[in-house]
Amino acid sequence: MAEALTQEDVHKVLQGMWGIAEEGWKEWASQVVRQMNGWLERGDGVAIYENMEIGHPESGDKKIVSFGSPTAQLESEEPPVQLPDIGNQINWRYRLVATYKGAPLDL
């Protein structure tokens, strides 16, 4: 089962994805948080998936998607354990690691 995150946890995940010291991180993070807040404001949740294939060049990379309504990327009430192929991407390597469903995030 995936971990349910707090707002603080979500910010830590975003920092870990790009690295807080990397130039442009704040701009990137604010864009991602604005997108996530759009999902949260309409009542959807946020699912975070991680590439779990050991030895793959993108092992450890994360993808963030919305779930929970017909307008979400994943329409199901709860996100599946394996990220389906969406957005013209093959995602079988990505496993659900965390979810967030609550108040919009602080920027």
Tokens 């996100």, residue located: 79
Q: Is residue 95 part of a domain?
A: yes
How far apart, in whole angstroms, are the C-alpha atoms of residue 19 and residue 30? 14
Is position 7 within any domain?
yes
> Does residue 8 lie in a domain region?
yes
On whether residue 107 sits in a domain, the answer given is: no
Question: pLDDT tens digit string along 43-99?
Answer: 999 999 999 988 888 788 889 999 999 999 999 999 999 999 998 989 999 999 999
Q: What are phi and psi of 37, to 5 degrees?
A: -65, -35
Q: Is residue 63 part of a domain?
A: yes
Residue whose C-alpha is closest to residue 62's, from 42, 32, 105: 32
pTM (whole model) above 0.95:
no
**Is the pLDDT reported for residue 40 higher than 90?**
yes
Q: Across 3-7, 21-25, 29-33, 92-96, which has the greatest mean pLDDT?
A: 92-96
> How many structural domains compose the chain?
1
Would you say the C-alpha torsion 62, 64, 68, 74 has a positive or negative sign?
negative
User: Which of these, 51, 106, 58, lies nearest to 82 by C-alpha position?
Assistant: 51
CA separation for the pair 79, 61 (Å, rounded): 18
Q: Evaluate whether residue 105 is within a structural domain.
A: no
**Structural domain boundaries enclosing 58:** 3-100
